[in-house]
Amino acid sequence: MTGFATRAIHAGQDPDPHTGSVIVPIHSSSTFVQDGVGGLREGYEYARTANPTRTALETCVAALEAGLHGRAFASGMAASDVLLRATCRPGDHIIIPDDAYGGTFRLIDKVFRHWGIEHTAVGQSDLDAVRAAMRPNTRLVWCETPTNPLLNIADIASLAAVAHQTGARLVVDNTFATPYLQTPLALGADVVLHSTTKYLGGHSDVIGGALITDDVELDEQVAFLQNGAGAVPGPFDAWLTLRGIKTLAVRMERHCDNAERVVAALQAHPAVTGVRYPGLATHHGHEIAAKQMRRFGGIVSFTVDGGAAAALAVCARTQVFTLAESLGGVESLIEHPGRMTHASTTGTQLEVPADLIRLSVGIEDPEDLVDDILAALG
């Protein structure tokens, strides 16, 4: 297999045999001509079922995760929804991280619970706690590592072993790390989930999701629901995501470089009471992160002296860091998880600290990012 950056640029993206187009075209047709009934030219029939631009994206994301099958969706949540329906039935049980992505928690707690799927939220850096939460009807262990927004680390290989012991599957939401930094299938995960909205797209201009697996049977169920329920990305969205992926390797190196610079500045500031970044030797789980990740990513969380009011004030004062939800784009973003991305967890076991600030460190000049944060901290 070729190297990561080469796969990002070429996998699924051979020049068009008919026109010579070097870049995969945006195939906007909803339907495809048949040479006689059932005589499909290249397997395409109707664009909900399959579309050549989407196929290119699906081939590419599978190659990035070094997986056999990739499926693209209209959003990360659509991918999560399909995965839950492909793997769980009423009466089944799933384990989720106790600081899961807010939307994932909401989907499982507010939607799937009412369809008879139970869940237990567990801190997944504690393998004994995960083992203790496993039940005979546990079908899925849902893992995020690093987690959002606390950047906790789970040991993917060990979690896979725990899940497999009772016949459950391990899904890793690899949105934060990206396949450039971490490849869960190689560590024993059964399926990888992405919000391609974030680093894969990389430019904050498209919403999308993906599922990647080596399990043919699971992929067939996922493909059935992709077509049967229809939460597919349009061809332009698929094309934009592919365009973003081409630079994933260089962007991730720069995100990591800049995050390290920002972390160092935060650590030296007296108003900062704690910095969470998996690259810090003092970070809980650093050794596991170092074992399973190439570098430590572009997301940094920190707490400030003065509680929620102080955290909100910092969020209001940055000039280069834009106050907005989401992450993984080229531009730096700042947000207050308690009031923004994780507001739906208020009053639950998943509630996040009120003095916590999350940064998505972009790829601007590192000096400008450090100056901006220091100025906002005062």
Ligand X SMILES: *Cc1c(COP(=O)(O)O)cnc(C)c1O
Shortest distance, position 313 Cβ to ligand X, whole Å: 25
Q: Which is nearer to ligand X, 207 or 212 (CB)?
A: 207
Contact at 8 Å (CB) between 72 and 196? yes
Q: How far is the CB of 130 from ligand X (least distance, A)?
A: 19
Whichever of 209 and 244 has its CB closer to ligand X, that residue is: 209
Shortest Å distance, C-beta 374 to ligand X: 27
To the query of whether residue 173 is one of the catalytic residues in this protein, the response is: yes
Q: Which of 54, 98, 101, 276 is catalytic?
A: 101
Does residue 331 sit in helix, strand or coil? coil
Length of the chain: 378
Q: CB nearer to ligand X: give 44 or 112.
A: 112
198 classed as catalytic: yes
Please identify, using beta-carbon distances, which residue of 103 and 188 lies nearer to ligand X: 103
Q: Nearest distance from residue 198's CB to ligand X, in Å? A: 5
Identify which of residues 227 and 326 has a Cβ nearer to ligand X in the complex: 326
Q: What does the binding site for ligand X look like in residue numbers (CB under 6 A)?
A: 75-77, 101, 103-104, 144, 148, 173, 175-176, 195, 197-198, 207, 209
Q: Which of 48, 135, 261, 339 is catalytic?
A: 48
Minimum CB separation of residue 133 from ligand X in Å reads 21
CA distance 308 to 355: 5
Q: How far is the CB of 103 from ligand X (least distance, A)?
A: 5
Nearest residue relative to ligand X (C-beta): 76
Smaller CB separation from ligand X, 265 or 345: 345
Strand pairing of 299-304 and 356-360? Answer: antiparallel
Q: Going edge to edge, which strands form the sheet with 333-335?
A: 272-276, 299-304, 356-360, 333-335, 322-323
Query: Residue 106 or residue 317: which is nearer to ligand X going by CB?
Result: 106
Helix axis angle for 248-267 and 366-377, nearest 10°, is 40
Single out the catalytic residue among 81, 92, 98, 173. Answer: 173
Question: 31 has which bridge partners?
Answer: 46
Helix axes 76-87, 216-229, angle to 10 degrees: 120
Task: Identify whether 214 is a catalytic site residue.
Answer: no
3-state DSSP call for residue 363? coil
CB count, 10 Å around CB of 338?
A: 22
In which residue are the tokens 């944060």 written? 373
Cα-based distances in Å from 140 to 29, 109, 136, 144, 198: 37, 15, 11, 13, 24
Q: Is 282 exposed, middle or buried (0-12, 13-18, 19+ CB in 10 A)?
A: exposed
Q: Which residue has the tokens 């699906």?
A: 58
The upper half-sphere exposure of residue 93, i.e. CA atoms within 13 Å in the direction of its Cβ, equals: 13
Shorter beta-carbon distance to ligand X: residue 55 or 174: 174
Residue pointed to by tokens 């495809």: 32
Strand partners, 122: 97
Q: Phi-psi category of 86—alpha, beta or left, where left has phi over 0 and alpha has psi -120 to 50?
A: alpha
Catalytic option among 139, 198, 251, 295: 198
Q: How far apart are CA 206 and CA 197, in angstroms?
A: 6
Q: Give 112's contacts (C-beta < 8 A, 6+ positions apart).
A: 84, 88, 119
| Residue 79 beta carbon to ligand X: minimum distance, rounded to whole angstroms | 8
CB of residue 328 vs ligand X: minimum separation in angstroms?
Answer: 8
Which residues does the annotation mark as catalytic?
Answer: 48, 101, 173, 198
